[in-house]
Copies of this chain bind each other. A is one copy, B any other.
Amino acid sequence: MSLPAGFTPDPERDLVLTREIDVPPAALWKAWTEPERVQQWFTPRPWTTPECEIDLRPGGIFRTVMRGPDGEEGDGTGCYLEIVPHERLVWTSAMSPGFRPNPPEDLAFTAIISIEAIDSGTRYTVVVMHSTVAGARQHEEMGFFDGWGAAIDQLVEHVKSSS
């Protein structure tokens, strides 16, 4: 995995998803870093992503609006923390642009998106870190694996159909 130096996921507080995908790292990177692409796969259907804002630098905004089938909306504003093109993207829901802390939130997380070139394409890994075990369990019970798993399916579908 292309994880930060010295970092090992915490089995209690982190949720981890790994997939081997037969597309190149560069295509996955584009799908994660261009707003109009993120909008096409980020939110598990039938939800959609009508808005996405990206300022791809540490402290820059990563904002998405997710809309449900009945018109309900959720707005998430986070910021990027580390950007290693075609390798690793780290962002957090715990801070707004400029590294300003967001209001306290039990489910605040930092996500590491790791994209590693392998012979068959890409080893894609998502690590979602929480402050507490309770936060991780709550996120898991809310359907983390189904939701992020469905988003990966949509991500792969998007990359294959647009390449």
CB distance from A75 to the nearest CB of B (A): 16
How many chain A residues touch the partner (CB < 8 A)? 28
Q: How far is the CA of A59 from the CA of B81 in the complex (A)?
A: 8
Do A4 and B129 have beta carbons less than 8 Å apart? no
Do B104 and A110 have beta carbons less than 8 Å apart? no
Chain copies in the assembled complex: 2
Further contacts, 14 of them, CB under 8 A, given A96-B131, A101-B110: A4-B98, A58-B58, A58-B81, A58-B82, A94-B95, A99-B110, A100-B110, A100-B131, A101-B108, A101-B109, A101-B131, A103-B131, A104-B108, A104-B131
Chain A residues with CB under 8 Å of chain B are 4, 7, 13, 58-59, 81-82, 90, 92, 94-96, 98-106, 108-110, 129-132
